[in-house]
Amino acid sequence: MKALVIDDSRVMRKIVGGILVDAGFEVVEAENGQDALDRMAEHDDIGLCCIDWNMPIMTGFEFVVEVRKHAEWRDVTLMMVTTEGEQDQIVRALAAGAHEYVIKPFTPEVILDKLQFLGLVEIEETV
């Protein structure tokens, strides 16, 4: 499956992208919400977006709202990955159509746990 990593920090894109590549995803990157919409239009097989909130030009929240207006993207899983950890922001993001929410900082296991729960990676039981 193809995943789109949306963050204005190149370092964050590499960190999140690296975790996803190790989990078997092919990764596409975008620097902001508008850039991400362009990538979505280019690649019709993106199944997962990992989305920062605060970005120039178009925020991650605006991106989620925009994606949810498009019927052809209704099966795309949207996961916020952001430093914004206030409860009302989590509520807003979920209400707008995000499926999951990861608060930075995080470890690779955090992302993998969420992807397992979403059914996007195989469940590997731990000891």
Residue ranges that bind another protein, judged by CB under 8 A: 85-87, 90-91, 93-94, 98-103, 105-107, 109-110, 113-114, 116-117, 123, 125-127
Q: For the sheet with 100-103, list strands across it.
A: 26-30, 2-6, 46-51, 77-82, 100-103
Question: How far apart are CB 80 and another protein at their closest, in Å?
Answer: 8
Instruction: Say which residues have a Cβ less than 8 Å from residue 9's Cβ, sequence separation at least 6.
Output: 52
Question: How far apart are CB 26 and another protein at their closest, in Å?
Answer: 24
* Choice between 22 and 109, CB closer to another protein: 109
Question: How far apart are CB 98 and another protein at their closest, in Å?
Answer: 8
* End-to-end alpha carbon distance in the chain: 27
* Choice between 11 and 95, CB closer to another protein: 95
**Cα(86)–Cα(55) distance, integer angstroms:** 17
* Choice between 34 and 116, CB closer to another protein: 116
